[in-house]
Amino acid sequence: MHKHLPQPYFSRFVRAIIEFDMLQDGDKILVGLSGGKDSLFLTYALAVLKDISPVKFELGAFTLDPLFTTDFDPAPLLDFCTRLGIPFGTSQANIAGIIENNAGKDPCFTCAFFRRGAVNNYAKQHGYNKVALAHHHDDAVETFYMGMLYAGHLKTFAPVTYLSRTGLTVIRPLVYFREKELRESVSLHGLTPIASPCPMNGKTKRQEIKEQIAALEAADPAFYAHLAAAMRGGKAAELWPEPPDRRQLKVKHDAFWRQNRQ
């Protein structure tokens, strides 16, 4: 396969890798390849970079079949990786059954937890030291917005995360790509994305947030940019201090009422 990334794509991709120090000489990187548009592009872009990078690294891909359907076929992904010249692995995990047996719990959290575990286990077993995930800029902003609305914190995932329990490092090289750009990237590698088999696809809280952000951005074109700017650290913040615990509050309470009694 002739591999090439147009300059606008390549520049954005390499910027994230350099800015966040994602790549070191001798790395062995495993891509979590679901077959969706994002992970296909990530696999392709890393394969392009591998051929020309002055920092030498190995690359592989792994696909998990969560058994949401009975007709999952990894053959197109195997062919895709073969044409890119990278090893491909796959396995199954009955995530569908686990979700069914844990009714009442958040199915998205359960699915993500077991998917991460499967990818990380495969990486460790096959000598990879890094896992590349295809989260893009919209994912980061949506996570930030969801945390603010539903968990009361200002937090999102980091471009690079070291997992001390496994010794793996997670990298997210697509953090400077908008989702709409990745939809347009299919023509670069030529493989039609595989539709998500998830029965909750399009019905999740994240989908609601995605639609809400899109509506707010339509009403105010600067909304998304401002939300993304608020997500970056290093800026002066005018926030209330963290609430004291009961012991700290009692100390302050007692100190207040003791004033002028001596």
Q: Radius of gyration of the chain from Cα atoms?
A: 22
For residue 261, is it within any domain? Answer: no
Sequential pLDDT tens for the chain (262 residues) = 778 999 999 999 999 999 999 999 999 999 999 999 999 999 999 999 999 999 999 999 999 988 888 888 999 999 999 999 999 999 988 777 777 776 656 677 777 888 899 999 999 999 999 999 999 999 999 999 999 998 888 899 999 999 999 999 999 999 999 999 999 998 999 899 988 777 666 667 888 999 999 999 999 999 999 999 999 877 666 788 888 899 999 999 899 888 866 5
Domain of residue 54 covers 7-231
What is the domain count for the chain?
A: 1
For residue 62, is it within any domain? Answer: yes
For residue 244, is it within any domain? Answer: no
CATH number of the domain enclosing 141: 3.40.50.620
CB distance 127 to 111 below 8 Å: no
For residue 250, is it within any domain? Answer: no
For residue 42, is it within any domain? Answer: yes
For residue 93, is it within any domain? Answer: yes
Strand order in the sheet with 160-163: 88-92, 57-65, 27-32, 130-132, 168-171, 160-163
For residue 227, is it within any domain? Answer: yes
For residue 240, is it within any domain? Answer: no
pTM metric for this prediction: 0.89
Please choose, from the candidates 47, 58, 37, the residue with its C-alpha nearest in 3D space to the C-alpha of residue 13: 47
Task: Give the largest Cα separation in the chain, rounded.
Answer: 85
CB distance 110 to 7 below 8 Å: no
